[in-house]
């Protein structure tokens, strides 16, 4: 923490009676750090930060700062962040594809609450989207939505020209493995062809940029640990592990990863890529494992797990993933790949048991005993990866990101959210045709 005060204050040419030292204190949260300054209005122009320097806050000022869950984090080490990394308080416009989905909506809500950035969300609103997820963003002065399919390159190009974003965060994707096995066409069209069209539109847009705008532009592609295939016992995937996907979904994402890498190397597009482990948390579509367990358990239906239930995944709360995405988007090094993992490996059976334990505590079913009695095993998925495990040491070392949400507490909070949001579940299930 600290206070931003003018350098050489006496020479700032202030108007009489306009003493910054007597203005009301304001704070701004940025990259997990909370800044305090005196101003009549919020800073919205990066140039307004010129002429300020850092000073620790006085005791009475520290007492007036709101607590933040990430205030204990140390500042990012300057040697490890990319050139043209953001200065605290810089306001950007981010164009987010797939922003109405699970991770995208969480990112948008976080950006609107905890950053000065403007957000443009382009999404074609498939079955996997519940409009209620972004109710809190509706009408926000820094939020705009456009119903656009990334496969429609002219529409994407028009959106880029209209909004002139500083950075693109590419989250739009078909992501359910079972659906990709049943019908891979939508996965190839969206994840491969759509990414290609988006890259080409971004490249054309990038060529129109000059000076600082060109230097600051980034294309951040969000991928998955599934592109690496199945990990050996005890091993972890690094950013240099060859891609070896084992499902149509994973293959489509691996193809997109390669396209992004090639568009950087061949055309010089300033790209960033992240790959994350399994996410969970509020507003996740009911077809995914943890929401499905909750919904099936409450309905008294069997909780079906593939095979012996001992497939291992690393589970990360979506809030931790969102913080990592912001770190990389704002400070990542161009051309680099960052693995994002929580180092919380659990088998699917262990996850199901944790969810059932939370339900037993929050909504006990005396007639059933324990919800875990509903767990059953079904035939395994085709070519099912046995274990995923990422090594997140690069993002921890270079960008000072660390997971903060404990798994058991996070699952309990997630279960409580679903218990409190029956309308959201019903809407999501209705849109999915369930």
Residues 6+ apart with CB under 8 A from 186: 174, 179
Q: What percent of the chain has pLDDT over 70?
A: 79
Return the half-sphere exposure (C-beta side, CA atoms, 13 A cut-off) of residue 36. Answer: 21
pLDDT score of 209 more than 90: yes
pLDDT tens digits, residue range 291-338? 999 999 999 999 999 999 999 999 999 999 999 999 999 999 999 999
Q: Report, as an integer, the average pLDDT of 223-240.
A: 96
Backbone angles phi, psi at 39, to 5 degrees: -160, 150
pLDDT score of 348 more than 80: yes
Rounded Cα gap, residues 326 and 14, in angstroms: 36
Q: Are 340 and 315 in contact (CB under 8 A)?
A: no
Q: Are 237 and 225 in contact (CB under 8 A)?
A: yes
Q: Report, as an integer, the average pLDDT of 399-409.
A: 97
| Residue 161 falls in the annotated catalytic set | no
pLDDT value, residue 88: 55
> pLDDT averaged over the chain?
85
Confidence category of residue 432, pLDDT binned at 50, 70, 90: low
pLDDT value, residue 38: 31
pLDDT value, residue 430: 82
pLDDT tens digits, residue range 101-128? 999 999 999 999 999 999 999 999 999 9
pLDDT tens digits, residue range 143-197? 999 999 999 999 999 999 999 999 999 999 999 999 999 999 999 999 999 999 9
pLDDT value, residue 415: 98
Which of the following is catalytic: 118, 123, 149, 226?
226
pLDDT score of 412 more than 50: yes
Q: Are strands 118-123 and 93-97 parallel, antiparallel or unpaired?
A: parallel
| Residue 30 falls in the annotated catalytic set | no
Helix 289-299 to helix 407-420 angle (10° resolution) is 50
| Residue 249 falls in the annotated catalytic set | yes
Which of the following is catalytic: 249, 338, 388, 418?
249
Q: Which two tokens stand for residue 341?
A: 């993992």
Confidence category of residue 90, pLDDT binned at 50, 70, 90: confident
Which of the following is catalytic: 118, 149, 174, 225?
225
Q: Are 396 and 324 in contact (CB under 8 A)?
A: no
Confidence category of residue 28, pLDDT binned at 50, 70, 90: very low
Question: Shortest CA distance to 96 belongs to which of 122, 129, 114?
Answer: 122
């Amino acid at each position: 923490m600290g206070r931003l005060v003018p350098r050489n204050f006496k020479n700032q040419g202030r108007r009489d009676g306009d003493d910054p030292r007597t203005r009301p204190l304001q704070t701004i949260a940025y990259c997990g750090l909370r800044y305090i300054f005196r101003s009549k209005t919020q800073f919205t122009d990066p140039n307004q930060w010129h002429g300020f320097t850092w000073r620790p806050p006085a005791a009475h000022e520290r007492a007036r700062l709101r607590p933040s869950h990430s205030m204990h984090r140390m500042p990012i080490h300057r040697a490890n962040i990319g050139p043209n990394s953001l200065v605290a308080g810089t306001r950007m416009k981010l164009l987010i594809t797939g922003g109405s989905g699970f991770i995208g909506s969480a990112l948008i809500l976080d950006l609107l609450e905890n950053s000065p950035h403007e957000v443009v969300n382009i999404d074609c609103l498939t079955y996997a989207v519940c409009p209620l997820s972004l109710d809190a963003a509706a009408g926000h002065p820094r939020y705009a939505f456009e119903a656009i399919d990334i496969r429609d390159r002219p529409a994407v190009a028009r959106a880029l020209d209209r909004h002139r974003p500083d950075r693109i965060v590419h989250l739009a994707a078909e992501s359910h493995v079972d659906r990709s096995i049943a019908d891979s066409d939508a996965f190839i069209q969206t994840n491969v062809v759509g990414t290609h069209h988006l890259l080409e539109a971004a490249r054309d847009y990038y060529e129109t940029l000059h000076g600082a705008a060109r230097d600051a532009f980034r294309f951040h592609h969000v991928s998955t640990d599934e592109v690496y295939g199945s990990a050996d016992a005890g091993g972890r995937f690094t950013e240099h592990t060859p891609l070896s996907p084992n499902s149509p979904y994973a293959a489509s994402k691996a193809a997109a990863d390669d396209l992004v890498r090639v568009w950087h190397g061949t055309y010089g597009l300033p790209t960033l890529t992240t790959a994350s482990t399994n996410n969970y948390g509020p507003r996740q579509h009911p077809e995914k494992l943890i929401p499905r367990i909750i919904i099936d358990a409450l309905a008294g239906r069997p909780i079906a797990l593939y095979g012996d239930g001992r497939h291992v995944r690393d589970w990360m709360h979506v809030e931790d993933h969102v913080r990592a995405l912001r770190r990389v988007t704002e400070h990542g090094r161009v051309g680099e790949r960052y693995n994002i993992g929580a180092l919380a490996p659990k088998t699917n059976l262990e996850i199901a048991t944790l969810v059932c334990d939370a339900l037993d505590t929050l909504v006990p079913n005396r007639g059933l005993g324990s919800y875990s009695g509903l767990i059953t095993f079904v035939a395994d998925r085709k070519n099912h990866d046995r274990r995923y495990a990422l090594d997140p040491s690069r993002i921890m070392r270079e960008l000072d990101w660390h997971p903060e949400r404990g798994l058991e507490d996070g699952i309990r909070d997630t279960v409580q959210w679903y218990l409190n949001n029956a309308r959201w579940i019903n809407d999501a299930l209705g849109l999915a045709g369930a």
